[in-house]
Amino acid sequence: MRHLHILCEGQTEEAIARDVMEPHFSALGVWVSWSIFTTKRPAGGPALKGGISGWPRLERELQLLLQDSSMTVLTTMFDYYAFPPGAPGMAARPRGSPHDRVRHVESAMAEAIGDKRFLPNLVLHEIEAWVLAECGRLGRLMGDERPAVELERAVQLESGPELVDDGVDTAPSKRIMNAYPQYTKTVDGPLVIADAGLDSIRSACPHMDDWLREVEARSRPGKTTTR
């Protein structure tokens, strides 16, 4: 059986891996596992998890995971927003669209790790972009659809949820929490995404769709990588 492991940035991504990605890939005959990135290992205490402080620690964790010979594909769910500036490719990002820039960083990460099983994925610009792909569902979940209408206008203005900017006050999560102060990232976001289903969200998020297509291709028996 093919083995897909997803390294998650935090609890929100872990919930999506468990409740959305696992059922999707299990239906394709893929064994799915996941873990949250370990930010610190204090002496004599439990490891701290969630958030990415720098590339060296992330690189070590990826290399440790790749020691598992059963793993067919190792991928990630990390936000492109506030990704460590010292990570491969970040300092040399080309001019162009956010899609071009994030692909440049992902390619540099893959080259730095040097294992064909590793498929980097950075979410444009953060995981809440997938929630913005389903503003109507978010409004119904929150019990007030009026703020969702304004969020939908912002998505249309930017020509898609993945292109909503990554400003400190205007990133997808900031917009959602300004519209719905009661919004809980680790609960409400995964609920919206699970309720919508992957097909709906990936149709609005081309970078997400490219990533899932590649994971699906690599997870088929006898298939080779295309990136």
pLDDT for 50:
55
71 and 166: one domain? no
Same domain for 49 and 114?
yes
Residues 209-218: tens digit of each pLDDT = 999 999 999 9
What's the pLDDT tens digit per position in 182-211? 999 999 999 999 999 999 999 999 999 999
Q: What's the confidence (pLDDT) of residue 182? A: 97
Asked if the structure places residue 184 within a domain, the reply is yes
Pairing of strands 38-40, 48-49: antiparallel
Span 167-178, mean pLDDT?
92
Q: Are 192 and 138 contacting, i.e. CB atoms less than 8 angstroms apart?
A: yes
**Pair 135, 118 in one domain:** no
∠ CA 9-22-103, nearest 5°, is 50
Which residue type sits at 202? R
Q: Are residues 179 and 213 located together in one domain of the fold?
A: no
Q: Are residues 119 and 180 in the same domain?
A: no
The yes-or-no verdict on residue 51 having pLDDT over 70 is no
pTM above 0.95, yes or no: no
* Domain co-membership, 115 together with 157: no
Res 223: pLDDT: 56
Residues 154 and 113 in one domain: no
| Residue 168 within a domain | yes
**Would 227 be classed as within a structural domain?**
no
Q: Whole domain around residue 167: which residue ranges?
A: 128-198
CATH at residue 211: 3.40.50
Q: What pLDDT is stored for residue 167 in this prediction?
A: 83
Please indicate, yes or no, if residue 224 is contained in any of the structural domains.
Answer: no
Q: What pLDDT does residue 224 have?
A: 47
3-state SS class at 137: helix
In the chain, the number of structural domains is: 2
Q: Are residues 118 and 26 in the same domain?
A: yes
